[in-house]
Structure 1
Amino acid sequence: MSTLKIAVVIGSVRPNRFADHPANWILAKANDRPEIEAELLDVREYPMPLFNEVASPAWAPSQSEVAQRWQKKVAEFDAYIVIAAEYNRAPTGALKNALDYAYNEWNKKPVAFVGYGSVGGARAIEQLRTISVELQMAPIRTAVHIPWPTYVAVAQEGKSLDDFDFAVQGAKDLLDQLVWWAKALKTAREAG
């Protein structure tokens, strides 16, 4: 089977975001695997307006040129790892907006999550799993949850996520499952 193209989607657009730490960490882990070709896909580089299209992109082409560029890029990948910040018990508005601006491009592809926040982004990830199902994606079971003490250790004390066994093991399990689902669904998509 050919190499799997996996996007690490950064879902926060804040200038001082923590998301770059877990994004670059999981990107390196993914690219250490010979069956994966991973790259960053930063929502900040696609400044889409709040969703205001005449219909869902499932039913009508987007009018926004930025959204069209986003859709074209999203379509390139076989699977996704979403870096999910938790704001007020939910994913960021920017991430939700970016998910809404594509539809067919997400279909029949697996998605995994690396979350951070007071409970490791668990509440945001739970909502993202439901959204993913509506987008006809296959959310995998294992996620990496970065709790607040680990966040502080990485952001302020110079630690790496590799210093935490739960994160290292979680990343391995996440990638193992994502690769399995990506291969299975890519085979199915190619078979029609």
Structure 2
Amino acid sequence: MTKIAIIVGSTRPGRRGRTVAEWVAGVAAQEHPTVDFELLDLVDVGLPLLDEEQPALFGQYGNEHTARWARTIGRFDGFVFVTPEYNHSVPAALKNALDFVYAEWNNKAAGFVSYGLHGGTRAVEHLRLILAELKVATVRTQVALSLFHDFTIPAPAEPGTFTPGPHQDKTLITLLDEVVIWSSALRPVREGALA
């Protein structure tokens, strides 16, 4: 069975990402009942700031939290990253989680559900570059959620209510289809790399 992680990329209190990730998980379960989707919240993972002595490329993980994270990421065939845009880029917690391991990301597929004032598009631009270095194939379709149109926010400091436009469901379904197809298509590449 294909396994896809839905990764919540923000750890900030009051974040909107968990609600968005739950929406992704709900649509995914309905559209792809034969695929195992699992929500991975970086708050629950609890990684410290990168503290490995060796670069992740060498695969010599010295800390138990890194080995645990490597086992977690290694279980999946693909990923859907749910990310806000912070200062035109990726949240620090997400970049940190990506940097901890290397081979466990390789030869897998990923899609992006982003949100922000400009739909989180600049965070995704950076993620595409980072993931290319980690040998992750990213799909073209992206869900870009606008804080103005896809959330009802009574005050800037409040998370508000997630109210995605009807077109977002269609875009998400296309994104999920692409991630599932590419995750499956890359299986022989992953298996060849392990041989």
Q: Percent identity?
A: 35
CA–CA separation in structure 2 for the residues paired with 1:70 and 1:175: 24
Aligned CA RMSD, in angstroms, stands at 1.6
Which of 13, 16, 22 is the matching residue for 1:15?
13
Q: Give the drift of 1:179.
A: 1.3
Map of 2:163 onto structure 1 = 160
Q: Which residue of 1 aligns with 2:94?
A: 95
Uncovered stretches (5+) of structure 1, i.e. residues with no partner? none
Gapped regions of structure 2 (runs ≥ 5): 154-158
Equivalent residue number for residue 31 of structure 1:
29
1:31-180 maps to which residues of 2 (within 5 A)? 31-32=29-30, 33-153=32-152, 155-156=159-160, 158=161, 160-161=163-164, 164-180=165-181
Moved over 6 A (4+): none
* Contact preservation (8 Å) 1:54, 1:60: no
Query: How many residues are aligned here?
Result: 187
**Structure 1 partner of 2:156:** none
Equivalent residue of 1:149, what SS?
coil
Contact 1:83 1:114 survives alignment (8 Å)? yes
CA contact (8 A) 2:52 2:61 kept: yes
Q: Normalized against structure 1, the TM-score is what?
A: 0.91
| CA distance 1:87–1:151, change in 2 (3 Å) | farther
**Structure with greater strand share of residues:** 2
Larger mean CA deviation between 29-38 and 168-177 belongs to: 29-38
State the secondary structure of the residue aligned to 1:16. coil
